[in-house]
Amino acid sequence: MTLTPHDRLIRGLAADLKPVRRLPPPLLRAFAWLAAVAAIAIGLAAFADVDAVWQRITAAPDLWLAVFGSTLTAVLAAVAAFELSLPDAPRVWAALPLPALILWIAASGFGCLRVWIAPHTHVAALGEARDCFIFIVSLSVPLSVLLLAMLRRACPLYPGLTAVVGGLAVAAAAASLLNFFHPYDAAATDLAVHAVAVALVIGANRALGGRIFGSPAFTPSDVTADEVAPN
């Protein structure tokens, strides 16, 4: 009896079957990743002048709104990315972080006006802005690796969208953590550098994530000596 291609595939898949541990709910997995971010935050807080950071952030509403916006974006984008990583998740999850993202962009953008409203405040020089860029990008690397590895355990059927939302979570988390070492008021140049860093992180996640999530379904690992023995 000849086997149809479906029969052969089904037999192949059944032969490849190994017990799997069911994934915990996406919300729980998102909080696990956020816990890693929180651990980094606690570590960074040990090196930062927390009182000065607190005074700076609470000095003007746009500053604490921007920090609140970026933190909320990180939390909501992480939840959305883990939801989207399930094969049956609706695409609408990608909209979850949008309100927080708008708040973050709006509050940061409002901060730019400060240069004109209060011209004597200390805005970041180009060298300092470069440090921000390096901070965001280098902190994003371990966060992205962890997030992509965790997302890959599921099976996103919208790989590009999942990677972009994941990248947003990473970039927002890194930008939030930057506040520990950012004794400047927002200015257009500084903000542009942040925006470029965030876009770069999202773009890198999109490129890398799309590739990682789109890799072959599985590779049989049962290579036996018999199969490759000389015939």
Partner 1 sequence: MTQWLQPNVMALSGNGQLLPSQFPGKAALCSRVGDLRMVKVEPQNRSADDLRRSAQMAAAQAGDRAAYEALLRDCVPLIKVVAVRQGVAADHIDDVVQDVLLTIHRARQTYDPARSFTGWLRTIAERRAIDLLRRTGRQRAREIHSPLAFESYAEETADPSRTAGDAASSRRVNEALAMLPERQREAVQVLVLEERSLAEAAIATRRSKGAMKVNLHRALKALRAKFEGKD
31 burial (CB, 10 Å; 0-12 / 13-18 / 19+) is middle
Binder of partner 1 out of 1, 42, 116, 221 (CB under 8 A): 221
Burial letters 52-82, b for 16+ CB under 10 A, else e: ebeebbeebebbbbbbbbbbbbbbbbbbbbb
The number of beta carbons lying within 10 Å of the beta carbon of residue 26 is 21
Closer to partner 1 at the Cβ: 114 or 152? Answer: 152
**How far is residue 163's CA from residue 217's CA, in Å, rounded to a whole number?**
18
Does 2 bind partner 1 (CB under 8 A)? Our answer is no
Write down the least CB distance from residue 34 to partner 1, Å: 20
**48, 115, 157, 196: which one contacts partner 1 (CB under 8 A)?**
157
219 touches partner 1 by CB under 8 A: yes
Cα gap 93→89, rounded to integer Å: 8
CB of 226 to partner 1, least distance (A): 9
Shorter beta-carbon distance to partner 1: residue 119 or 220? 220
Contact between 1 and partner 1 by CB under 8 A: the answer reads no
Does residue 220 touch partner 1 according to CB under 8 A? yes
Q: Given the structure tokens 């901070």, which residue do they identify?
A: 135
For position 127 contacting partner 1 by CB under 8 A, the verdict is no
**Binding residue for partner 1, selected from 1, 2, 21, 127, defined by CB under 8 A:** 21
Residues 6+ apart with CB under 8 A from 126: 189
Asked if 114 and 187 count as a contact pair (C-beta separation under 8 A), the reply is yes
Which of residues 120 and 224 has its CB atom nearest to partner 1 in the complex? 224
Judged by the rule CB under 8 A, the positions of this chain that interact with partner 1 are: 5-6, 8-23, 25, 86-88, 153-155, 157, 216-223, 227-228, 231
